Amino acid sequence: DTAVSQTPKYLVTQMGNDKSIKCEQNLGHDTMYWYKQDSKKFLKIMFSYNNKELIINETVPNRFSPKSPDKAHLNLHINSLELGDSAVYFCASSQLTGNTEAFFGQGTRLTVV
């Protein structure tokens, strides 16, 4: 039973398109995250939501908009996709408290052509 699941696993799209990546966790965690892993494998946090409320919003273009309909879901919508958006995007969840062991989704490889 997958703890953190994100869909799709692969996404190939043309520049200028709008796309969404969905994430769901069944762990009962309060906090969910979106990370971007670039071609050098470096992971960078993009957003963090706690109980549907945005708590971390790192410097990412406005074209990226997270949406949390409930605390088990955190979707990432990207408008006007650019070549530089190509990366692997990871969703993760953790509990609210400091022992923030994060559970990760399998990742979504986004390729913009």
Q: State both tokens at 92.
A: 């993760």
Smallest separation, CB 53 to other proteins (Å): 11
Per-residue x/- mask for other proteins, residues 58 to 97, rule CB under 8 A? ------------------------------x-x-x-x-xx
Contact 109, 9 (CB under 8 A): yes
Smallest separation, CB 92 to other proteins (Å): 8
40 in contact with other proteins (CB under 8 A): yes
107 in contact with other proteins (CB under 8 A): yes
93: nearest Cα among 1, 3, 2: 3
Q: How far is CA 83 from the centre of its chain?
A: 18
